[in-house]
Amino acid sequence: MIRMRTDFFSDSLAMSTSMVVLMPQSADGQIGMAGSPADATDLPPVLYLLHGLSDDCTIWERRTSIERYAADLGIAVVMPEVRRSFYVDEAVGDAYWTFVSEELPQLVQRTFRVSADPADTFVAGLSMGGFGAFKLALNLPERFAAAACLSGVVDPAHLDLSAHGGHLRDRIWGDTDIETTNDNLPGLLRAAAPGSTPRLYVTCGTEDHLIEQNREFIALAEELGHDLTAVLRPGAHSWDLWDAAIQDVLAWLPLRGREA
């Protein structure tokens, strides 16, 4: 894989920011690595992989072997920096929803050799990033073939953020009722017709503090008839679970040439 940490100016954020990008590369001569399955003439599929509340754009590389996992599939991976934004245009802060939903994909398409076909475009994330992945997929379903939420905040309106500083909710949402916004994932799920969303994947540890939110979201999706794969597994809100889970997500993605 070609690994790049890319620093750039964001118009929507009005400041410089960063992302880490992994691009498929033939590794036939590299000891311990298989050759990339991607044809050099093909534009590779792309996975937008989102970080959680306490992390940054480097965290997936530092806590998992995402580069090695992606290399085996010939898939590009884009890991953007969004700070502690919850992927929202913050009430008092910066326009991270505009950044991740509009500016980032345009920048990726202008800068990197990846497929622009929605059938080749995926999004996944953990915790806050799991929320971000489903927010993108449910608000912009025409752009993605599949979305995965790992131990995600699937109902931020009923999330206690007091442990993360009393200012966090006010800074992000102000006095807005989250249930009236495009951050209301259960509401977006109710409003979507079955078959109109990307394929969805939810996983969460049974000892995770977010397990009840996830169980309720899974039950709602099943009741409404959405295409959702649910995997509840032993574990907590921790990287040992997410390292295993991201491998399962990559195996589940509907990549071209792979049977559904």
DSSP H helical ranges for 56-124 = 59-63, 66-71, 96-98, 104-111
The answer to whether 90 and 99 have CB atoms below 8 angstroms apart is: no
Q: Say how many Å lie between the first and final Cα of the chain, rounded.
A: 26
Mean pLDDT across 109-115:
97
Number of domains in the chain: 1
Q: Is residue 259 part of a domain?
A: no
Q: Is residue 257 part of a domain?
A: no
Asked whether residue 195 carries a pLDDT value surpassing 60, the answer given is yes
The whole-chain average pLDDT of the chain stands at 94
Lowest pLDDT segment from 68-72, 93-97, 164-168, 192-196: 164-168
Q: Burial, 185: exposed, middle or buried (Cβ in 10 Å; 0-12, 13-18, 19+)? A: buried
Q: What is the CATH number of the domain that holds 141?
A: 3.40.50.1820
Residue 179 binned pLDDT confidence (cut-offs 50, 70, 90)? very high
Asked whether residue 42 carries a pLDDT value surpassing 90, the answer given is no
Residue of 29, 149, 25, 8 lying closest to 76 (CA atoms)? 25
Q: Is residue 43 part of a domain?
A: yes
What are the tens digits of pLDDT across the range 223-258? 999 999 999 999 999 999 999 999 999 999 999 887
The answer to whether 18 and 5 have CB atoms below 8 angstroms apart is: yes
Residue 155 or residue 30, greater confidence: 155
pLDDT at res. 160? 84
pLDDT at res. 26? 79
**Cα 110 to Cα 173: distance, rounded to the nearest angstrom:** 32
pLDDT at res. 260? 46
Q: Is residue 42 part of a domain?
A: yes
Q: Is residue 10 part of a domain?
A: yes
**Within 13 A of 237's CA, how many CA atoms are on the CB side?**
16
Q: Is residue 258 part of a domain?
A: no
**Cα 59 to Cα 100: distance, rounded to the nearest angstrom:** 17
Asked whether residue 7 carries a pLDDT value surpassing 80, the answer given is yes
The answer to whether 154 and 131 have CB atoms below 8 angstroms apart is: yes
- How distant, in Å, are the alpha carbons of 16, 43, 57, 230 from that of 8? 5, 23, 13, 37
**CA–centroid distance for 77 within its chain:** 11
Domain residues for the domain of 29 are 2-252
Q: Is residue 145 part of a domain?
A: yes
pLDDT at res. 2? 94
Q: What is the percent of the chain where pLDDT is above 90?
A: 87
Lowest pLDDT segment from 57-66, 153-162, 237-246, 248-257: 153-162
pLDDT at res. 29? 67
Asked whether residue 74 carries a pLDDT value surpassing 80, the answer given is yes
Asked whether residue 36 carries a pLDDT value surpassing 70, the answer given is no
What are the tens digits of pLDDT across the range 89-109? 999 999 999 999 999 999 999
Q: Is residue 34 part of a domain?
A: yes
Mean pLDDT across 207-222:
98
What are the tens digits of pLDDT across the range 166-176? 689 999 999 99
